[in-house]
Amino acid sequence: MIDPEAIKLYSIVNADGSEVILSNLGAGIVSIVVPDRYGRLADVVLGYRNPEDYYGDGPCMGKIPGRYANRIAAGRFSLGGREYSLSINNGPNHLHGGPGDECFANRIWQAEETPEGVRFTLDSPDGDAGYPGALHVEALYSWSEDHKLTLKLTATSDAETIVNLTNHAYFNLKGEAAGDVTSHRLKLFASRYLPTDESLIPAGAPAPVAGTPMDFTLPKEIGTDLKADFPALIYGKGYDNCFVVDDWKEGIVRPVAELTEESSGRRLLVMTDAPGIQVYTGNWLAGCPVSKSGKEYQDYDGVALECQAFPDSPNRPDFPFRSLCPGDTYRNTIIFAFE
């Protein structure tokens, strides 16, 4: 467990009063307060009333999971001729680096306020949660006057290992206490997605979204096909799938998702240099800890847009993924730009 006294919050405020609040628990996003079309401010990310409730929560609310975000089939992968076994914490698979203290999202990170924003760092020893190599991770957040939250994730290791980092914030552009996101319109710059088996492990090659409920190449309300009779949506009880970024090139930051909400006039543009974006429509939010506003969240009250490598990439040589070797640096840049 986490000592509540160890949890510290950090605020970044721009000139018009828009504010981002971050936590050293999981290097997480606790709050993003931005204006609507009339200049009225609202918090547009989901979160909990009690800081200690962020520890060990199922939704991984706003935090950075690791070492490997998303799923690894059967918790096994091979590297350098050796097989590694990880905890099984999601059906038959390994998810987000493991349960409890194994997951980076449930650890206290070191924090330093910088001219750019806040830098969080975490050191993970060799063999931590079953992963090889001593890993050093940094997460640098910055908040601009034009409402862009930039997250730069980097990692280095003293031995070959695997790493996949992202942020797991849930967005509701009406406001975190304003109900479900089914009327939000989502556009993805992705014409393919990864079909999965029933345990949400990729099965086969990327498939075209055209002609399926997975097609967000034109803006579409999230709720339009949410309950469609389609394998991906049945397996996940909604969207919980990785979409393949169109025209992806390593190291190039590009738009990957656009989320809009008509009543508030808010728009969120997500940009990244990651090859995939996992869209998760909060299908299992009911029953999570009490929210910042004191209400009980329900399923589909937020949507997570997780920029990352493809799930189970260490076991899929056909996926765009490389292990991290000594002397190299893992990088993932994510920008949440609000308008």
Q: Considering its fold, how many domains does the chain have in total?
A: 1
Q: Please write the tens of the pLDDT for every residue from 113-132.
A: 999 899 999 999 999 999 99
Give me the domain span that covers residue 19.
Answer: 4-338
- Beta bridge partners of residue 193, listed in sequence order: 207, 243
Query: Which whole-number Å values give the CA distances from 44 to 18, 57, 128, 261, 304, in the listed order?
Result: 11, 19, 34, 11, 12
Q: Report the catalytic residues.
A: 168, 306
Question: 260 and 171 in contact (C-beta within 8 Å)?
Answer: no
Whether the predicted pLDDT of 2 surpasses 90: no
pLDDT score at 1? 74
Span 236-258, average pLDDT: 97
List the Cα angle 121/128/323 in 5-degree steps. Answer: 80
The percent of residues above 70 in pLDDT, for the chain, comes to 100
Question: Is the separation of the CB atoms in 152 and 139 below 8 Å?
Answer: yes
Contact yes or no for 167/29 (Cβ under 8 A) = yes
CATH number for position 9: 2.70.98.10
Reported as a pLDDT band with limits 50, 70 and 90, residue 4 is confident
One-letter amino acid at 4 equals P
CB atoms within 10 A of CB 142: 18
Residue 278: what are its φ and ψ, rounded to 5°? Answer: -85, 120
Inform me whether the pLDDT recorded for 218 exceeds 90: yes
**pLDDT tens readout for residues 158-207:** 999 999 999 999 999 999 999 999 999 999 999 999 999 999 999 999 99
Mean pLDDT over 41-52 rounds to 97
Give the model's pLDDT for residue 3. 85
233 vs 242: CA distance, rounded Å:
12
pLDDT of residue 116: 87
Mean pLDDT over the full length of the chain = 97
Long-range contacts of 34-43, Cβ-Cβ distance < 8 Å, separation of 24 or more:
34/147, 34/266, 34/338, 36/264, 36/265, 36/266, 37/264, 37/265, 37/266, 38/265, 41/17, 42/174, 42/175, 42/176, 42/178, 42/264, 43/175, 43/176, 43/292
pLDDT in tens, 87-105: 999 999 999 999 999 999 9
pTM of structure: 0.97
CA distance 226 to 138: 36
